Amino acid sequence: MTKATVTRLFVGSLIAIVGGIILLATGVLVGFASGAFVMSGHDVSGIQPTPFAWSMVGLGVLGLLALLGGGIGQFVAWIGAVLNTSRLEDKTWFIVLLVLGLLSFGFIPMIIYLLIGPDGTTSSVHRMDLARQ
């Protein structure tokens, strides 16, 4: 997977996550404001059976699905970046992305990699061209 593909996937999944948060927050906040939820003290004990209430629940579910899809996209982008950097001769990027990703601190290194990191696929192609000559 090229660095450009990893970048598109990473940015697209970030957009999906932000959109999912907005949809989920809108569904919950508008649902609470309109009285769509039946409250028992501080707990939600049910949902008013109105079309508007169910549309807010649907909006919240859509937001959760967008969050789930964005999270999967982030994971796939991280795997692509790790595989891309494994092709490099210098394994520093590979080790940093792998270890910090496994320790759940991979977001900042991914951003740094996407901004200034090398592309392992261009290095492999360049080496293959040199080997043919």
Q: Please write down the long-range contacts of 120-125, taking CB distance under 8 Å and 24 or more positions apart.
A: 120/3, 120/83, 120/84, 120/85, 120/86, 120/87, 120/88, 121/1, 121/2, 121/3, 121/84, 121/87, 122/2, 123/87, 123/88, 123/89, 124/87
Is 126 inside any structural domain?
no
Q: What share of the chain has pLDDT > 70, as a percent?
A: 92
Is 77 inside any structural domain?
yes
Is 131 inside any structural domain?
no
Is 43 inside any structural domain?
yes
Is 109 inside any structural domain?
yes
Averaged pLDDT of the chain: 89
Q: Give the pLDDT score at 39.
A: 86
Q: Give the pLDDT score at 101.
A: 93
CB 31: neighbour CB atoms within 10 A? Answer: 22
Q: Give the pLDDT score at 132.
A: 56
What's the domain count of the chain?
1
3-state secondary structure (DSSP) of residue 42: coil
Is 127 inside any structural domain?
no
CB 40: neighbour CB atoms within 10 A? Answer: 8
Closest CA to 19 of 76, 54, 62: 62
Position 127 pLDDT exceeds 80: no
Is 125 inside any structural domain?
no
Which CA distances in Å does 53 have to 39, 48, 60, 115? Answer: 14, 6, 11, 43
Residues spanned by the domain of 19 = 3-120
List, for residues 22-78, the tens digit of each pLDDT value: 999 999 999 888 888 888 888 888 888 889 989 998 999 999 999 999 999 999 999
Q: Give the pLDDT score at 133.
A: 56
Is 99 inside any structural domain?
yes
Average pLDDT over residues 105-130: 78
